[in-house]
Protein backbone atom coordinates (compact mmCIF):
# COMPACT_ATOMS: atom_id res chain seq x y z
CA UNK A 1 0.00 0.00 0.00
CA UNK A 2 1.37 3.35 -0.98
CA UNK A 3 1.34 6.02 1.67
CA UNK A 4 1.76 8.90 -0.77
CA UNK A 5 -1.51 10.53 0.17
CA UNK A 6 -0.38 10.91 3.78
CA UNK A 7 1.65 13.94 4.87
CA UNK A 8 5.29 13.13 5.08
CA UNK A 9 5.43 14.07 8.74
CA UNK A 10 3.28 11.13 9.75
CA UNK A 11 4.17 8.44 7.21
CA UNK A 12 6.48 6.60 9.61
CA UNK A 13 3.81 6.71 12.29
CA UNK A 14 1.21 5.39 9.86
CA UNK A 15 3.52 2.50 9.00
CA UNK A 16 4.16 1.76 12.67
CA UNK A 17 0.48 2.00 13.56
CA UNK A 18 -0.44 -0.39 10.79
CA UNK A 19 2.08 -2.95 11.96
CA UNK A 20 0.90 -2.54 15.55
CA UNK A 21 -2.72 -3.10 14.56
CA UNK A 22 -1.85 -6.35 12.79
CA UNK A 23 -0.17 -7.50 16.00
CA UNK A 24 -3.17 -6.30 17.94
CA UNK A 25 -5.51 -8.43 15.82
CA UNK A 26 -3.28 -11.47 16.26
CA UNK A 27 -3.10 -11.15 20.04
CA UNK A 28 -6.80 -10.38 20.31
CA UNK A 29 -7.69 -13.53 18.38
CA UNK A 30 -5.49 -15.58 20.72
CA UNK A 31 -7.32 -14.03 23.69
CA UNK A 32 -10.71 -14.75 22.11
CA UNK A 33 -9.74 -18.42 21.69
CA UNK A 34 -8.38 -18.78 25.24
CA UNK A 35 -11.34 -16.98 26.83
CA UNK A 36 -13.82 -18.88 24.67
CA UNK A 37 -12.41 -22.23 25.78
CA UNK A 38 -12.56 -21.21 29.44
CA UNK A 39 -15.93 -19.44 29.30
CA UNK A 40 -18.21 -22.10 30.83
CA UNK A 41 -21.35 -20.91 32.58
CA UNK A 42 -20.04 -17.60 33.83
CA UNK A 43 -21.81 -14.40 32.84
CA UNK A 44 -18.66 -12.38 33.56
CA UNK A 45 -16.62 -14.57 31.25
CA UNK A 46 -19.24 -14.31 28.53
CA UNK A 47 -19.34 -10.52 28.78
CA UNK A 48 -15.56 -10.20 28.90
CA UNK A 49 -15.33 -12.54 25.93
CA UNK A 50 -17.77 -10.41 23.94
CA UNK A 51 -15.80 -7.30 24.83
CA UNK A 52 -12.60 -9.01 23.69
CA UNK A 53 -14.31 -9.89 20.42
CA UNK A 54 -15.50 -6.30 20.03
CA UNK A 55 -11.91 -5.30 20.51
CA UNK A 56 -11.34 -6.55 16.97
CA UNK A 57 -13.57 -3.83 15.51
CA UNK A 58 -11.31 -0.77 16.01
CA UNK A 59 -8.14 -2.35 14.56
CA UNK A 60 -10.06 -3.75 11.58
CA UNK A 61 -11.85 -0.42 11.07
CA UNK A 62 -8.50 1.32 11.32
CA UNK A 63 -6.83 -0.88 8.71
CA UNK A 64 -9.77 -0.73 6.32
CA UNK A 65 -10.11 3.04 6.68
CA UNK A 66 -6.37 3.49 6.20
CA UNK A 67 -6.52 1.52 2.99
CA UNK A 68 -9.37 3.65 1.69
CA UNK A 69 -7.78 6.87 2.88
CA UNK A 70 -4.60 5.99 0.97
CA UNK A 71 -6.45 6.11 -2.35
CA UNK A 72 -5.85 9.25 -4.40
CA UNK A 73 -8.85 11.44 -5.13
CA UNK A 74 -10.68 10.58 -8.28
CA UNK A 75 -13.37 11.87 -10.55
CA UNK A 76 -16.09 10.23 -8.53
CA UNK A 77 -14.51 11.22 -5.20
CA UNK A 78 -13.07 14.66 -5.93
CA UNK A 79 -12.43 15.41 -2.25
CA UNK A 80 -10.45 12.24 -1.75
CA UNK A 81 -11.07 9.79 1.08
CA UNK A 82 -10.04 11.74 4.15
CA UNK A 83 -13.35 11.04 5.86
CA UNK A 84 -13.17 7.24 5.56
CA UNK A 85 -11.77 7.34 9.07
CA UNK A 86 -14.79 9.25 10.40
CA UNK A 87 -17.17 6.75 8.84
CA UNK A 88 -15.26 3.75 10.21
CA UNK A 89 -15.33 5.42 13.59
CA UNK A 90 -19.10 5.89 13.49
CA UNK A 91 -19.66 2.24 12.59
CA UNK A 92 -17.40 1.09 15.44
CA UNK A 93 -19.19 3.41 17.87
CA UNK A 94 -22.66 2.12 17.03
CA UNK A 95 -21.54 -1.50 17.33
CA UNK A 96 -19.92 -0.79 20.68
CA UNK A 97 -22.93 0.96 22.19
CA UNK A 98 -25.43 -1.65 21.02
CA UNK A 99 -23.49 -4.68 22.23
CA UNK A 100 -22.86 -2.97 25.57
CA UNK A 101 -26.58 -2.40 26.01
CA UNK A 102 -27.30 -6.04 25.16
CA UNK A 103 -24.81 -7.34 27.72
CA UNK A 104 -26.14 -5.02 30.43
CA UNK A 105 -29.64 -6.34 29.73
CA UNK A 106 -28.32 -9.92 30.15
CA UNK A 107 -26.54 -9.19 33.41
CA UNK A 108 -29.49 -7.30 34.89
CA UNK A 109 -31.81 -10.17 33.93
CA UNK A 110 -29.56 -12.70 35.65
CA UNK A 111 -29.41 -10.57 38.79
CA UNK A 112 -33.17 -10.01 38.94
CA UNK A 113 -33.92 -13.69 38.35
CA UNK A 114 -31.34 -14.51 41.05
CA UNK A 115 -29.82 -17.10 38.74
CA UNK A 116 -26.84 -18.87 40.25
CA UNK A 117 -24.11 -19.47 37.69
CA UNK A 118 -22.80 -23.02 37.54
CA UNK A 119 -19.07 -23.30 37.27
CA UNK A 120 -18.12 -26.93 37.68
CA UNK A 121 -14.85 -28.76 37.39
CA UNK A 122 -12.75 -30.47 34.77
CA UNK A 123 -10.37 -33.42 35.03
CA UNK A 124 -6.89 -32.70 33.75
CA UNK A 125 -4.22 -35.39 34.09
CA UNK A 126 -6.23 -37.19 36.71
CA UNK A 127 -6.83 -34.16 38.87
CA UNK A 128 -10.19 -32.44 39.25
CA UNK A 129 -9.71 -28.72 38.82
CA UNK A 130 -12.37 -26.11 39.40
CA UNK A 131 -13.13 -24.38 36.08
CA UNK A 132 -12.91 -21.05 37.87
CA UNK A 133 -9.14 -21.47 38.09
CA UNK A 134 -8.98 -21.96 34.35
CA UNK A 135 -11.10 -18.84 33.93
CA UNK A 136 -8.82 -16.86 36.22
CA UNK A 137 -5.79 -17.99 34.23
CA UNK A 138 -7.52 -16.99 30.97
CA UNK A 139 -8.43 -13.59 32.44
CA UNK A 140 -4.85 -13.01 33.56
CA UNK A 141 -3.65 -13.84 30.06
CA UNK A 142 -6.24 -11.50 28.53
CA UNK A 143 -4.94 -8.58 30.60
CA UNK A 144 -1.39 -8.53 29.28
CA UNK A 145 -1.55 -7.82 25.50
CA UNK A 146 -4.11 -4.96 25.61
CA UNK A 147 -2.18 -3.35 28.46
CA UNK A 148 0.99 -3.20 26.36
CA UNK A 149 -0.57 -2.51 22.94
CA UNK A 150 -2.84 0.25 24.25
CA UNK A 151 0.14 2.10 25.69
CA UNK A 152 2.02 1.83 22.41
CA UNK A 153 -0.95 3.14 20.42
CA UNK A 154 -1.63 6.28 22.40
CA UNK A 155 1.34 8.44 21.28
CA UNK A 156 0.92 7.26 17.67
CA UNK A 157 -2.76 8.22 17.68
CA UNK A 158 -1.91 11.65 19.03
CA UNK A 159 0.75 12.33 16.41
CA UNK A 160 -1.44 11.05 13.58
CA UNK A 161 -4.59 12.74 14.92
CA UNK A 162 -6.35 9.45 14.44
CA UNK A 163 -9.69 8.97 16.21
CA UNK A 164 -9.97 5.29 15.35
CA UNK A 165 -6.52 4.49 16.68
CA UNK A 166 -7.21 6.59 19.76
CA UNK A 167 -10.48 4.74 20.36
CA UNK A 168 -8.61 1.49 19.97
CA UNK A 169 -6.05 2.57 22.57
CA UNK A 170 -8.91 3.45 24.93
CA UNK A 171 -10.64 0.19 24.12
CA UNK A 172 -7.48 -1.72 24.96
CA UNK A 173 -7.39 0.08 28.27
CA UNK A 174 -11.04 -0.81 28.84
CA UNK A 175 -10.22 -4.41 27.92
CA UNK A 176 -7.50 -4.93 30.44
CA UNK A 177 -9.58 -3.24 33.10
CA UNK A 178 -12.38 -5.59 32.13
CA UNK A 179 -9.95 -8.42 32.77
CA UNK A 180 -9.41 -7.12 36.30
CA UNK A 181 -13.17 -6.74 36.91
CA UNK A 182 -13.65 -10.21 35.45
CA UNK A 183 -11.08 -11.67 37.83
CA UNK A 184 -13.06 -10.14 40.67
CA UNK A 185 -16.24 -11.66 39.30
CA UNK A 186 -14.89 -15.19 38.98
CA UNK A 187 -13.11 -15.09 42.34
CA UNK A 188 -16.28 -13.71 43.92
CA UNK A 189 -18.26 -16.55 42.38
CA UNK A 190 -15.75 -18.98 43.87
CA UNK A 191 -16.21 -17.37 47.27
CA UNK A 192 -19.87 -18.32 47.05
CA UNK A 193 -21.22 -14.87 46.17
CA UNK A 194 -23.54 -15.85 43.37
CA UNK A 195 -24.18 -12.18 42.47
CA UNK A 196 -20.49 -11.29 42.01
CA UNK A 197 -20.47 -12.79 38.53
CA UNK A 198 -23.40 -10.74 37.21
CA UNK A 199 -22.35 -7.55 39.00
CA UNK A 200 -18.90 -7.72 37.40
CA UNK A 201 -20.56 -8.40 34.03
CA UNK A 202 -22.84 -5.36 34.49
CA UNK A 203 -19.89 -3.11 35.37
CA UNK A 204 -18.04 -4.27 32.27
CA UNK A 205 -21.05 -3.71 30.02
CA UNK A 206 -21.64 -0.20 31.41
CA UNK A 207 -18.04 0.53 30.49
CA UNK A 208 -18.63 -0.73 26.95
CA UNK A 209 -21.72 1.49 26.60
CA UNK A 210 -19.79 4.52 27.86
CA UNK A 211 -17.03 3.93 25.30
CA UNK A 212 -19.58 3.57 22.51
CA UNK A 213 -21.57 6.64 23.51
CA UNK A 214 -18.53 8.87 23.69
CA UNK A 215 -17.26 7.60 20.35
CA UNK A 216 -20.70 8.14 18.81
CA UNK A 217 -20.76 11.77 19.93
CA UNK A 218 -17.29 12.48 18.53
CA UNK A 219 -17.97 10.71 15.23
CA UNK A 220 -21.30 12.52 14.77
CA UNK A 221 -19.71 15.90 15.47
CA UNK A 222 -17.21 15.28 12.72
CA UNK A 223 -19.69 13.96 10.18
CA UNK A 224 -22.00 16.96 10.51
CA UNK A 225 -19.06 19.36 10.20
CA UNK A 226 -18.90 20.44 13.82
CA UNK A 227 -15.95 22.40 15.11
CA UNK A 228 -12.93 20.06 15.27
CA UNK A 229 -12.75 18.26 18.60
CA UNK A 230 -9.81 17.29 20.73
CA UNK A 231 -8.70 13.73 20.15
CA UNK A 232 -11.06 11.40 21.94
CA UNK A 233 -12.98 14.24 23.58
CA UNK A 234 -16.05 16.32 22.88
CA UNK A 235 -14.40 19.68 23.71
CA UNK A 236 -13.27 21.87 20.80
CA UNK A 237 -9.71 21.51 19.59
CA UNK A 238 -7.82 24.66 20.73
CA UNK A 239 -5.85 24.66 17.46
CA UNK A 240 -9.08 24.92 15.50
CA UNK A 241 -10.34 27.81 17.66
CA UNK A 242 -7.00 29.62 17.32
CA UNK A 243 -7.01 29.04 13.56
CA UNK A 244 -10.48 30.54 13.27
CA UNK A 245 -9.43 33.59 15.26
CA UNK A 246 -6.27 34.01 13.21
CA UNK A 247 -8.16 33.82 9.92
CA UNK A 248 -10.60 36.44 11.10
CA UNK A 249 -7.70 38.68 12.13
CA UNK A 250 -6.08 38.30 8.71
CA UNK A 251 -9.34 38.96 6.88
CA UNK A 252 -11.11 41.40 9.21
CA UNK A 253 -14.36 41.67 7.28
CA UNK A 254 -14.78 37.96 6.85
CA UNK A 255 -16.19 35.08 8.87
CA UNK A 256 -14.13 31.97 9.25
CA UNK A 257 -15.23 28.45 9.96
CA UNK A 258 -13.25 25.28 10.48
CA UNK A 259 -14.22 21.65 10.27
CA UNK A 260 -12.57 18.26 10.53
CA UNK A 261 -12.30 15.86 7.65
CA UNK A 262 -10.69 12.83 9.13
CA UNK A 263 -7.31 13.80 10.53
CA UNK A 264 -7.25 17.09 8.55
CA UNK A 265 -8.80 20.48 9.11
CA UNK A 266 -10.43 22.50 6.41
CA UNK A 267 -11.20 26.18 6.82
CA UNK A 268 -13.50 28.48 4.95
CA UNK A 269 -13.22 32.24 4.89
CA UNK A 270 -16.50 33.81 3.90
CA UNK A 271 -16.62 37.28 2.43
CA UNK A 272 -12.94 37.90 1.81
CA UNK A 273 -10.67 37.86 -1.17
CA UNK A 274 -7.28 36.36 -0.38
CA UNK A 275 -5.36 38.79 -2.61
CA UNK A 276 -2.06 37.06 -1.97
CA UNK A 277 -2.16 33.30 -1.93
CA UNK A 278 -2.26 32.29 1.73
CA UNK A 279 0.59 30.29 3.16
CA UNK A 280 -1.02 27.42 4.98
CA UNK A 281 2.02 26.81 7.15
CA UNK A 282 2.06 30.44 8.27
CA UNK A 283 -1.64 30.26 9.05
CA UNK A 284 -1.33 27.27 11.34
CA UNK A 285 -1.41 28.55 14.90
CA UNK A 286 -0.29 25.43 16.72
CA UNK A 287 2.81 23.26 16.84
CA UNK A 288 4.51 23.63 13.42
CA UNK A 289 5.18 19.89 13.36
CA UNK A 290 1.45 19.43 13.16
CA UNK A 291 1.01 22.04 10.43
CA UNK A 292 0.05 19.26 8.02
CA UNK A 293 -3.32 19.14 9.70
CA UNK A 294 -4.47 22.26 7.88
CA UNK A 295 -5.21 20.79 4.48
CA UNK A 296 -7.20 23.50 2.81
CA UNK A 297 -8.39 27.07 3.14
CA UNK A 298 -11.24 28.08 0.87
CA UNK A 299 -12.47 31.57 0.18
CA UNK A 300 -16.17 31.99 -0.39
CA UNK A 301 -17.98 35.12 -1.50
CA UNK A 302 -20.34 36.44 1.11
CA UNK A 303 -23.38 36.66 -1.13
CA UNK A 304 -21.99 34.53 -3.86
CA UNK A 305 -21.45 37.33 -6.39
CA UNK A 306 -18.76 37.00 -8.99
CA UNK A 307 -15.64 34.93 -9.03
CA UNK A 308 -12.87 35.96 -6.71
CA UNK A 309 -9.29 35.83 -7.83
CA UNK A 310 -7.51 32.60 -7.34
CA UNK A 311 -4.93 31.88 -4.73
CA UNK A 312 -2.09 29.69 -5.72
CA UNK A 313 -0.16 28.80 -2.62
CA UNK A 314 2.07 25.80 -2.69
CA UNK A 315 -1.08 24.29 -3.90
CA UNK A 316 -3.25 23.34 -6.71
CA UNK A 317 -6.20 25.67 -7.08
CA UNK A 318 -9.56 24.13 -6.99
CA UNK A 319 -12.28 25.98 -8.76
CA UNK A 320 -15.77 24.85 -8.33
CA UNK A 321 -18.89 26.55 -9.55
CA UNK A 322 -21.34 27.20 -6.78
CA UNK A 323 -25.07 27.33 -7.03
CA UNK A 324 -26.70 30.34 -5.42
CA UNK A 325 -29.84 30.24 -3.40
CA UNK A 326 -31.88 31.47 -6.38
CA UNK A 327 -30.47 28.79 -8.59
CA UNK A 328 -28.24 30.97 -10.74
CA UNK A 329 -24.56 30.36 -11.17
CA UNK A 330 -23.29 32.81 -8.69
CA UNK A 331 -19.80 32.26 -7.66
CA UNK A 332 -16.69 30.35 -7.71
CA UNK A 333 -15.19 28.65 -4.79
CA UNK A 334 -11.49 29.14 -4.66
CA UNK A 335 -9.11 27.55 -2.38
CA UNK A 336 -5.63 26.83 -1.44
CA UNK A 337 -5.11 23.17 -0.97
CA UNK A 338 -1.89 21.72 0.21
CA UNK A 339 -0.56 19.02 -2.01
CA UNK A 340 -0.06 15.91 -0.03
CA UNK A 341 1.69 13.92 -2.72
CA UNK B 1 -0.75 -4.03 39.53
CA UNK B 2 -0.34 -7.41 37.86
CA UNK B 3 1.79 -8.73 40.67
CA UNK B 4 -0.82 -7.61 43.16
CA UNK B 5 -3.50 -9.65 41.45
CA UNK B 6 -1.29 -12.70 41.10
CA UNK B 7 -0.55 -12.60 44.80
CA UNK B 8 -4.25 -12.08 45.49
CA UNK B 9 -5.15 -15.11 43.36
CA UNK B 10 -2.55 -17.27 45.09
CA UNK B 11 -3.80 -16.20 48.50
CA UNK B 12 -7.27 -17.26 47.51
CA UNK B 13 -5.93 -20.62 46.44
CA UNK B 14 -5.41 -21.39 50.08
CA UNK B 15 -9.03 -20.61 50.89
CA UNK B 16 -10.37 -23.65 49.03
CA UNK B 17 -12.36 -22.28 46.13
CA UNK B 18 -15.05 -22.79 45.10
CA UNK B 19 -17.54 -22.39 47.91
CA UNK B 20 -21.31 -22.84 47.77
CA UNK B 21 -23.51 -19.73 47.95
CA UNK B 22 -26.03 -21.74 50.03
CA UNK B 23 -23.39 -23.90 51.73
CA UNK B 24 -24.88 -27.25 50.67
CA UNK B 25 -21.60 -29.15 51.05
CA UNK B 26 -20.88 -27.62 54.45
CA UNK B 27 -24.34 -28.57 55.73
CA UNK B 28 -23.99 -32.15 54.56
CA UNK B 29 -20.63 -32.44 56.32
CA UNK B 30 -21.89 -30.85 59.53
CA UNK B 31 -25.35 -32.43 59.74
CA UNK B 32 -24.11 -35.78 58.39
CA UNK B 33 -27.33 -36.08 56.39
CA UNK B 34 -27.55 -36.05 52.62
CA UNK B 35 -31.04 -35.45 51.30
CA UNK B 36 -31.42 -37.41 48.06
CA UNK B 37 -34.35 -37.66 45.67
CA UNK B 38 -34.54 -40.67 43.36
CA UNK B 39 -36.72 -40.29 40.30
CA UNK B 40 -39.25 -43.14 40.11
CA UNK B 41 -40.26 -44.49 36.78
CA UNK B 42 -42.84 -47.19 36.17
CA UNK B 43 -40.92 -48.67 33.27
CA UNK B 44 -37.60 -48.88 35.02
CA UNK B 45 -36.39 -49.44 38.54
CA UNK B 46 -33.85 -47.08 40.01
CA UNK B 47 -30.57 -47.87 38.31
CA UNK B 48 -27.60 -49.51 39.90
CA UNK B 49 -25.31 -46.72 38.77
CA UNK B 50 -27.32 -44.20 40.76
CA UNK B 51 -27.27 -46.35 43.87
CA UNK B 52 -23.49 -46.77 43.65
CA UNK B 53 -23.10 -43.06 43.02
CA UNK B 54 -25.13 -42.04 46.06
CA UNK B 55 -23.45 -44.61 48.29
CA UNK B 56 -19.95 -43.48 47.29
CA UNK B 57 -20.67 -39.85 48.01
CA UNK B 58 -22.33 -40.64 51.32
CA UNK B 59 -19.29 -42.69 52.34
CA UNK B 60 -16.93 -39.97 51.25
CA UNK B 61 -18.73 -37.33 53.30
CA UNK B 62 -19.49 -39.72 56.14
CA UNK B 63 -23.19 -38.85 55.83
CA UNK B 64 -26.45 -40.77 56.18
CA UNK B 65 -28.75 -40.80 53.15
CA UNK B 66 -32.28 -39.51 53.61
CA UNK B 67 -33.96 -40.93 50.52
CA UNK B 68 -37.14 -39.71 48.96
CA UNK B 69 -38.72 -40.98 45.76
CA UNK B 70 -41.11 -39.27 43.41
CA UNK B 71 -41.60 -38.03 39.89
CA UNK B 72 -39.08 -35.83 38.11
CA UNK B 73 -41.05 -32.60 38.36
CA UNK B 74 -41.73 -32.82 42.08
CA UNK B 75 -38.16 -33.79 43.00
CA UNK B 76 -36.55 -31.08 40.91
CA UNK B 77 -38.91 -28.50 42.42
CA UNK B 78 -37.84 -29.69 45.87
CA UNK B 79 -34.19 -29.45 44.79
CA UNK B 80 -34.73 -25.89 43.62
CA UNK B 81 -36.49 -24.99 46.84
CA UNK B 82 -33.50 -26.29 48.83
CA UNK B 83 -35.37 -29.27 50.32
CA UNK B 84 -33.07 -31.75 48.60
CA UNK B 85 -29.29 -31.78 48.04
CA UNK B 86 -29.24 -34.18 45.11
CA UNK B 87 -31.61 -35.76 42.62
CA UNK B 88 -30.66 -38.88 40.68
CA UNK B 89 -32.44 -40.49 37.76
CA UNK B 90 -32.87 -40.32 34.03
CA UNK B 91 -32.32 -36.68 33.15
CA UNK B 92 -31.70 -35.10 29.80
CA UNK B 93 -29.19 -32.34 29.15
CA UNK B 94 -31.75 -30.85 26.80
CA UNK B 95 -34.45 -30.67 29.47
CA UNK B 96 -35.78 -27.18 30.24
CA UNK B 97 -34.67 -27.93 33.79
CA UNK B 98 -31.06 -27.69 32.65
CA UNK B 99 -31.23 -23.93 33.13
CA UNK B 100 -32.76 -24.18 36.61
CA UNK B 101 -30.59 -26.81 38.29
CA UNK B 102 -26.99 -27.91 37.88
CA UNK B 103 -27.01 -31.08 35.79
CA UNK B 104 -24.07 -33.40 36.32
CA UNK B 105 -22.66 -35.33 33.38
CA UNK B 106 -24.19 -38.81 32.98
CA UNK B 107 -23.11 -41.44 35.51
CA UNK B 108 -22.72 -44.10 32.85
CA UNK B 109 -20.96 -44.11 29.56
CA UNK B 110 -23.07 -42.97 26.67
CA UNK B 111 -25.20 -45.65 25.07
CA UNK B 112 -25.31 -47.84 28.21
CA UNK B 113 -28.80 -46.80 29.19
CA UNK B 114 -30.91 -45.59 26.33
CA UNK B 115 -32.91 -43.50 25.82
CA UNK B 116 -32.06 -41.20 28.73
CA UNK B 117 -28.76 -41.37 30.58
CA UNK B 118 -28.83 -41.82 34.32
CA UNK B 119 -27.69 -38.59 35.69
CA UNK B 120 -27.72 -36.38 38.74
CA UNK B 121 -28.82 -32.84 39.46
CA UNK B 122 -27.70 -30.47 42.20
CA UNK B 123 -29.00 -27.05 43.27
CA UNK B 124 -27.88 -24.40 40.75
CA UNK B 125 -24.64 -22.59 41.47
CA UNK B 126 -23.59 -24.73 44.48
CA UNK B 127 -20.23 -24.99 42.81
CA UNK B 128 -18.25 -26.80 45.51
CA UNK B 129 -20.93 -29.44 45.83
CA UNK B 130 -21.28 -29.67 42.03
CA UNK B 131 -17.52 -30.08 41.62
CA UNK B 132 -17.49 -32.96 44.11
CA UNK B 133 -20.39 -34.68 42.35
CA UNK B 134 -18.71 -34.22 38.99
CA UNK B 135 -15.48 -35.78 40.21
CA UNK B 136 -17.40 -38.77 41.58
CA UNK B 137 -19.37 -39.15 38.33
CA UNK B 138 -16.10 -39.16 36.39
CA UNK B 139 -14.74 -41.95 38.59
CA UNK B 140 -17.90 -43.93 38.05
CA UNK B 141 -17.63 -43.56 34.28
CA UNK B 142 -14.09 -44.79 34.51
CA UNK B 143 -12.09 -41.64 34.80
CA UNK B 144 -13.46 -39.97 31.67
| Residue-level pLDDT at A35 | 92
Instruction: Tell me the CA distances in angstroms from B138 to A122, B51, B53, B59, B105, one per residue in order.
Output: 9, 15, 10, 17, 8
Give the residue, B114 or A310, on which the prediction is more confident.
B114
- Report the distance separating Cα A84 and Cα A74, nearest Å: 14
Phi/psi at A298 (5° precision): -110, 150
Same domain for A251 and A209, yes or no, is: no
In this prediction, residue A67 has a pLDDT band, given cuts at 50, 70 and 90, of very high
A15-44 burial, b at 16+ Cβ within 10 Å, e below that, comes to: ebbbebbeebbebbeebbebbeebbbbbbb
For residues A317-337, average pLDDT: 37
Query: Does B5 fall in a domain?
Result: no
Supply the ipTM of this predicted assembly.
0.78
- Report the distance separating Cα A243 and Cα A257, nearest Å: 9
Structural domain including B123 reads: 20-141
DSSP state letter for A289: G
Query: Does A136 fall in a domain?
Result: yes
pLDDT surpassing 90 at residue A251: no
Query: Does B25 fall in a domain?
Result: yes
Query: Does A20 fall in a domain?
Result: yes
Query: Does B81 fall in a domain?
Result: yes
In this prediction, residue B116 has a pLDDT band, given cuts at 50, 70 and 90, of low
pLDDT surpassing 50 at residue A131: yes
Lowest mean pLDDT among A139-143, A191-195, A266-270, B14-18: B14-18
| Residue-level pLDDT at A205 | 86
Same domain for A202 and A297, yes or no, is: no
Same domain for A105 and A184, yes or no, is: yes
Does residue B125 belong to the interface with chain A, where contact is any CB pair within 8 Å? yes
Give the residue, B9 or A146, on which the prediction is more confident.
A146
Q: Based on the structure, what is the number of domains in chain A?
A: 2
pTM: 0.76
Same domain for A204 and A107, yes or no, is: yes
Query: Does B82 fall in a domain?
Result: yes
Give DSSP secondary structure letters for A13-79. HHHHHHHHHHHHHHHHHHHHHHHHHH-TT-HHHHHHHHHHHHTTHHHHHHHHHHHHHTSPP-SS-TT
Give the residue, A184 or B115, on which the prediction is more confident.
A184
Which CATH number does the domain housing residue A47 bear?
1.20.1510.10
| Residue-level pLDDT at A14 | 94
| Residue-level pLDDT at B12 | 55
Give the residue, A93 or A31, on which the prediction is more confident.
A31
Q: Is the dihedral of CA A298, A301, A303, A306 positive or negative?
A: negative
Same domain for A244 and A189, yes or no, is: no
pLDDT surpassing 90 at residue A194: no
Query: Does B109 fall in a domain?
Result: yes
Query: Does A115 fall in a domain?
Result: yes
Same domain for A122 and A266, yes or no, is: no
Same domain for A212 and A332, yes or no, is: no
pLDDT surpassing 60 at residue A328: no
Query: Does B9 fall in a domain?
Result: no
Query: Does B60 fall in a domain?
Result: yes
Query: B44 forms bridges with which residues in the sheet?
Result: B41
Measured between beta carbons, the chain B residues lying within 8 angstroms of A200 are none
Taking a C-beta distance cutoff of 8 angstroms, is the pair A229, A263 a contact?
no
Q: Based on the structure, what is the number of domains in chain B?
A: 1
For residues A230-251, average pLDDT: 90
Give the residue, A194 or B14, on which the prediction is more confident.
A194
Asked if the bond preceding A5 is cis, omega within 30° of 0, the reply is no
| Residue-level pLDDT at A153 | 95
- Report the distance separating Cα B101 and Cα A68, nearest Å: 52
Same domain for A82 and A215, yes or no, is: yes
| Residue-level pLDDT at B11 | 56
In this prediction, residue A315 has a pLDDT band, given cuts at 50, 70 and 90, of very low
Q: How far is the alpha carbon of B80 from chain A, nearest alpha carbon, in Å?
A: 11
Angle at A38 between CA A32 and CA A43, to 5 degrees: 90
Choose the final residue of a domain: A223, A250, A273: A223
Does residue A109 belong to the interface with chain B, where contact is any CB pair within 8 Å? no
Query: Does A88 fall in a domain?
Result: yes
In this prediction, residue B36 has a pLDDT band, given cuts at 50, 70 and 90, of very high
Same domain for A49 and A182, yes or no, is: yes
In this prediction, residue A338 has a pLDDT band, given cuts at 50, 70 and 90, of low
pLDDT surpassing 80 at residue A327: no
Query: Does A283 fall in a domain?
Result: yes
| Residue-level pLDDT at B94 | 80
Helix/strand/coil for A244 = helix
Query: Does A306 fall in a domain?
Result: yes
Q: How far is the alpha carbon of B42 from chain A, nearest alpha carbon, in Å?
A: 31
Does residue B72 belong to the interface with chain A, where contact is any CB pair within 8 Å? no
Which CATH number does the domain housing residue B77 bear?
3.40.190.10
| Residue-level pLDDT at A191 | 86
Same domain for A117 and A209, yes or no, is: yes
A137-157 burial, b at 16+ Cβ within 10 Å, e below that, comes to: ebbbebbebbbebbeebbebb
Question: What mean pLDDT is reported for chain A?
Answer: 82
pLDDT surpassing 60 at residue A228: yes
Choose the final residue of a domain: A197, A223, A249: A223
Structural domain including A12 reads: 8-223
Does residue B45 belong to the interface with chain A, where contact is any CB pair within 8 Å? no
Query: Does A263 fall in a domain?
Result: yes
| Residue-level pLDDT at B42 | 65
Same domain for A139 and A15, yes or no, is: yes
- When mean pLDDT is compared over A76-80, A145-149, A251-255, A268-272, the highest value belongs to A145-149
Same domain for A303 and A215, yes or no, is: no
**Residue ranges of the alpha helices (H) in chain A?**
8-38, 43-54, 57-69, 84-112, 131-160, 163-190, 194-223, 238-250, 280-283
Range 125-154 of A in CB contact (< 8 A) with B: 126, 128, 130, 132-133, 136, 140, 143-144
Taking a C-beta distance cutoff of 8 angstroms, is the pair A258, A228 a contact?
yes
Tens of pLDDT, residues A84-128: 888 888 887 887 788 888 888 888 988 888 888 888 888 888 888
- Report the distance separating Cα A286 and Cα A6, nearest Å: 19
| Residue-level pLDDT at B45 | 61
Choose the final residue of a domain: A170, A198, A223: A223
Q: How far is the alpha carbon of A186 from chain B, nearest alpha carbon, in Å?
A: 10
In this prediction, residue A1 has a pLDDT band, given cuts at 50, 70 and 90, of low
Amino acid sequence: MSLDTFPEAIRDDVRRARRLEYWNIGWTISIIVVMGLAMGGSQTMKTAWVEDTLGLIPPIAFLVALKIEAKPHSKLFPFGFDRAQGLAFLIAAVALALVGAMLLWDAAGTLIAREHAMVGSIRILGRDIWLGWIMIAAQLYSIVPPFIIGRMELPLAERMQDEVLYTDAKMNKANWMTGVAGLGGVIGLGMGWWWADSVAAAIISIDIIRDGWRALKIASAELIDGLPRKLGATEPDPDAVALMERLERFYPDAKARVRDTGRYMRAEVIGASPGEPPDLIALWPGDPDRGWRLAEVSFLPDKGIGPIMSARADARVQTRLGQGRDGADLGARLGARRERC
Amino acid sequence: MMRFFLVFALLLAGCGLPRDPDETLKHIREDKIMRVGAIERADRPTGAAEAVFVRRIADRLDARVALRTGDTERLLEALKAGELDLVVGPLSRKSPWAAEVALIDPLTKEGDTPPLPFSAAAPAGENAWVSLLEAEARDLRGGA
